[in-house]
Amino acid sequence: QKEVEQDPGPLSVPEGAIVSLNCTYSNSAFQYFMWYRQYSRKGPELLMYTYSSGNKEDGRFTAQVDKSSKYISLFIRDSQPSDSATYLCAMIRNTGGFKTIFGAGTRLFVKA
Amino acid sequence: EAQVTQNPRYLITVTGKKLTVTCSQNMNHEYMSWYRQDPGLGLRQIYYSMNVEVTDKGDVPEGYKVSRKEKRNFPLILESPSPNQTSLYFCASSKPGVLYNEQFFGPGTRLTVL
């Protein structure tokens, strides 16, 4: 079983829809939780990060962490065609060093 | 411009021929890392370095070596490449502290081992 599970999609939505992207994890040692966006043929870029359980909002993006359920989500409101990309969740555990574990990534298509 | 650079961007080689992929950052970051990205597996960490002369294994270190003699550079060495190392490789860097989580990625190196 992978430490971090993420549905690879693809997920296709119409412009303006609310998008929900999710990851589950199995290791309680994960401390930091991040969402990266990766456009085709580019390196990932950080969208949001959080340390604690709860919600964090940044513009059209909301990151949610539920440590008790080992579940994180990214919500995108009023989705735009420019949001079409692969979204990767990532987590850092500080047991045995600072290792970063990424989910497989969910490919999102937003249709105009 | 603040950036992470990787060279080469594309490389086709043959089994057993030693190669080095260079990574350099101009942001004075302490933390640097190498990942490989494969379809369906996402990004997997190969090695990381907390600072000069401090390196540690990630989750898939077999067949790779790294060195960190200068803060800005973190080369990835494949002593004897094999076809299962065909992949897309990313280098990343970040500051220490809470910003460990904000990693800046290079543009990627697509490696094919025949």
| DSSP class per residue in B49-105 | EEETTEEEE-S--TT-EE--SSSSB--EEESS--GGG-EEEEEEEE-SGGGGG-PEE
Q: Is the pLDDT of residue B77 over 90?
A: yes
| Mean pLDDT across chain A | 91
Contact between A40 and A20 under an 8 Å Cβ cutoff? The reply is: no
Q: Which of A15-29, B41-55, B92-106 has the lowest mean pLDDT?
A: B92-106
Mean pLDDT of A83-97: 87
Rounded CA separation A52/A41 (Å)? 32
Rounded CA separation A79/A18 (Å)? 6
Mean pLDDT of A75-89: 97
Contact status of A92 with chain B (Cβ, < 8 Å) = yes
Residue-level pLDDT at A96: 65
Q: Which two tokens stand for residue A110?
A: 């937003």
Q: pLDDT grade, residue A93 (50/70/90)?
A: confident
Q: pLDDT grade, residue B100 (50/70/90)?
A: low
DSSP type of residue A84: -
Please list every residue in chain A whose beta carbon sits closer than 8 Å to the beta carbon of residue B104. Answer: 46
Residue-level pLDDT at B40: 83
Q: Cβ–Cβ of A102/B43 closer than 8 Å?
A: yes
Residue-level pLDDT at A7: 86
Phi, psi torsion values for B108, nearest 5 degrees: 100, 150
Contact between B18 and B80 under an 8 Å Cβ cutoff? The reply is: yes
Reported as a single tens digit per residue, the pLDDT across B37-58 is 998 888 999 999 988 999 999 9
**Residue A41, exposed/middle/buried by CB under 10 A (0-12, 13-18, 19+)?**
exposed
Residue-level pLDDT at B47: 95
| Strand partners of residue A46 | A36
Mean pLDDT of B81-87: 97
Q: Cβ–Cβ of B108/A98 closer than 8 Å?
A: no
**Residue B59, exposed/middle/buried by CB under 10 A (0-12, 13-18, 19+)?**
middle
DSSP type of residue A53: S
B101, B104, B109: which to substitute to probe chain A, counting the most A Cβ within 10 Å? B101
A-B contacts (CB, under 8 Å): 63
Contact between A1 and A100 under an 8 Å Cβ cutoff? The reply is: no
